[in-house]
């Protein structure tokens, strides 16, 4: 058996090292499509798989829907003569593949429990077409134990053995959409396999397209790495958001305090307050870890408290808006407010879990006429209706207040000052500008 295992793994390893293998990536979203592109750039025969026909059609036309992938680069890869990039919604292509990466969403249920149904659905398709000498890597963020407790039993139910007939590993996605400095290729990859040979093959696979690969002892460790990274951010943002609320009571400027503390060359890392957490990672990942911790009888107090504080920030912003209007002898009810930016971070088009959505909802419950402007989101579907972004240069009606929720670079600060009587700045976007029109959280 030892010789058989060695021969099997050596054949796959040789295929990977010589790039003579066929790779498949399930899920062509903000993780899967850039990964597909990076391997295709290296000359690997790669196929992207997704159930969304709209995405398939766009890729086939060389049109990118992901900010970090240019349409020019995508079109070149799709149309080239040698090993063109393929995409399909037909999972039967898996029977032809040597490697599979699963890059599907992992949202939360309304109860804030993990929803790994997309992972399970993808794994079921892999099981249908699984064959010997395959490397399967899960990249979707999930709780520690998913790879070995959920995916592994599914793959072994037909008699194939991990480390002998197929190879299984976990490697957490690390993507920062819109970051011009760190993208798929130069963000180090963490990998943990079920067996040592699984780890080695996964490491060899990623080294083709990723500059640095760091191995850990197990899939469970790799799963925990991603959750620690984002829980670290959530807890520290929660701390500074609480300090922000505290500073208002104490009559001090939280932005000034953070800037001064950041002059210390050791022992301090600056985090900044804001209107709340958003996006696909930081508001969600800590709940995966907390859920798993509770199953094991451990109370994740820091995670719970940070979540509570961060979740309170949209309400804090609305209360601040009410106070600002009150200081100018205006009521919140009946006022007209413009929301500047609805995405979860600057210079991206993604508004998933954005705190701006809750700010809008809370304001409207208080009788506010709310309009938004965002150069990256021309239309916004909220509360069963489609809203359209207004063009700032075309505004004719009067607004009582503008709330800057997302500090896009395209927002000209001086023009905003000239245009609006009052601006509530939740991001310190007007740093260095002194004006009675500006109120910071």
Average pLDDT over residues 11-17: 93
Q: Which domain holds residue 371?
A: 239-440
- The confidence band for 324, taking pLDDT boundaries of 50, 70 and 90, is very high
pLDDT one-digit tens code per residue, 394-438: 887 789 999 999 999 999 999 999 999 999 999 999 999 989 999
Residues 130, 259 within the same domain: no
pLDDT one-digit tens code per residue, 332-383: 999 999 999 999 999 999 998 899 999 999 999 999 999 999 999 999 988 8
CA dist 116 to 175, 193, 293, 392, Å? 19, 20, 17, 41
pLDDT at residue number 6: 54
Residues 92, 205 within the same domain: yes
pLDDT at residue number 3: 46
DSSP 306-325: HHHHHHTHHHHHHHHHHHHH
Residues 36, 168 within the same domain: yes
CA nearest 233: which of 272, 202, 199, 194? 272
- The confidence band for 230, taking pLDDT boundaries of 50, 70 and 90, is very high
Q: Which residue, of 183, 217, 251, is where some domain finishes?
A: 217
- Give, as one character, the DSSP assignment of residue 162: B
Average pLDDT over residues 96-119: 93
pLDDT at residue number 8: 66
Residues 243, 212 within the same domain: no
Instruction: Tell me how far apart the alpha carbons of residues 439 and 424 are, in angstroms, rounded to a whole number.
Output: 5
Q: What is the mean pLDDT of the chain?
A: 94
**Residues carrying an active site annotation:** 281
pLDDT at residue number 1: 40
Residues of the chain with pLDDT > 70: what percent? 98
In a domain, 226, yes or no: no
Average pLDDT over residues 27-56: 96
Residues 324, 264 within the same domain: yes
Residues 204, 257 within the same domain: no
CA nearest 279: which of 111, 404, 170, 406? 406
pLDDT at residue number 358: 96
Residues 8, 133 within the same domain: yes
pLDDT at residue number 9: 77
Q: Are 107 and 68 in contact (CB under 8 A)?
A: no
Instruction: Tell me how far apart the alpha carbons of residues 123 and 138 are, in angstroms, rounded to a whole number.
Output: 9
Whole-prediction pTM: 0.92
Residues 170, 305 within the same domain: no
Structural domain total, the chain: 2
In a domain, 225, yes or no: no
- The confidence band for 5, taking pLDDT boundaries of 50, 70 and 90, is low
CA nearest 163: which of 198, 129, 200? 198
| Domain harbouring 431, CATH code | 3.40.50.720
Residues 354, 262 within the same domain: yes
330 against 112, higher pLDDT = 330
Residues 43, 166 within the same domain: yes
Q: Which residue, of 151, 182, 217, is where some domain finishes?
A: 217
Residues 190, 244 within the same domain: no
pLDDT at residue number 279: 84
Q: Where are the alpha helices (DSSP H) in 328-433?
A: 355-365, 413-419
In a domain, 223, yes or no: no
Residues 254, 387 within the same domain: yes
Q: Are 438 and 425 in contact (CB under 8 A)?
A: yes
In a domain, 230, yes or no: no
396 against 222, higher pLDDT = 222
pLDDT one-digit tens code per residue, 68-95: 999 999 999 999 988 899 999 999 999 9
Q: Which residue, of 217, 249, 279, is where some domain finishes?
A: 217
pLDDT at residue number 176: 87
């Amino acid at each position: 058996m030892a010789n058989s295992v060695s021969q099997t793994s050596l054949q796959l390893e040789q295929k990977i090292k010589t790039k003579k293998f066929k790779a498949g990536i399930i899920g062509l979203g903000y993780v899967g499509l850039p990964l597909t592109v990076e391997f295709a750039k290296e000359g690997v025969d790669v196929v992207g798989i997704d159930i969304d026909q709209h995405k398939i059609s766009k890729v086939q036309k060389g049109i990118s829907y992901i900010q970090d992938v240019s349409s020019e680069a995508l079109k070149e890869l799709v149309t080239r003569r040698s090993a063109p990039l393929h995409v399909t919604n037909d999972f039967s292509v898996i029977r032809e593949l040597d490697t599979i990466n699963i890059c599907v969403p992992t949202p939360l249920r309304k109860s804030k429990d993990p929803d790994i149904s997309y992972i399970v659905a993808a794994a079921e398709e892999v099981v249908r077409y699984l064959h010997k000498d395959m490397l399967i890597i899960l990249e979707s963020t999930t709780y520690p134990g998913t790879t070995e407790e959920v995916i592994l039993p599914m793959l072994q139910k037909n008699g194939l053995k991990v480390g002998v007939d197929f190879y299984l590993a976990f490697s957490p996605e690390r993507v920062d959409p819109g970051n011009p400095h760190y993208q798929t290729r130069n963000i180090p990859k963490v990998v943990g396999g079920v067996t040592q040979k699984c780890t080695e093959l996964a490491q060899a696979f990623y080294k083709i397209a990723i500059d640095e690969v760091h191995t850990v002892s197990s899939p469970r460790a790799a799963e925990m790495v991603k959750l620690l990274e984002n829980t670290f951010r959530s807890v520290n943002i929660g701390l500074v958001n609480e300090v922000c609320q505290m500073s208002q009571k104490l009559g001090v400027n939280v932005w000034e305090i953070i800037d001064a503390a950041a002059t210390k060359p050791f022992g301090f890392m600056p985090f900044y307050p804001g209107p709340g957490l958003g996006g696909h990672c930081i508001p969600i990942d800590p709940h995966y870890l907390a859920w798993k911790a509770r199953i094991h009888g451990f109370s994740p107090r820091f995670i719970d408290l940070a979540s509570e504080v961060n979740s309170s920030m949209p309400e804090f912003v609305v209360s601040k808006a009410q106070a600002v209007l009150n200081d100018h002898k205006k009521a919140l009810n009946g006022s007209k407010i413009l929301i500047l930016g609805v995405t979860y971070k600057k210079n991206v088009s993604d508004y998933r879990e954005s705190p701006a959505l809750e700010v809008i909802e809370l304001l409207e419950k208080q009788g506010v006429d709310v309009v938004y402007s965002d150069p990256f989101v021309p239309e916004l579907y909220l509360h069963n209706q489609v809203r359209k972004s207004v063009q700032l240069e075309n505004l004719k009606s009067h607004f009582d207040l503008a709330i800057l929720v997302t500090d896009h670079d395209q927002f000209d600060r001086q023009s905003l000052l000239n245009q609006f009587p009052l601006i509530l700045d939740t991001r310190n976007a007007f740093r260095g500008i002194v004006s009675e029109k500006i109120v910071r959280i």
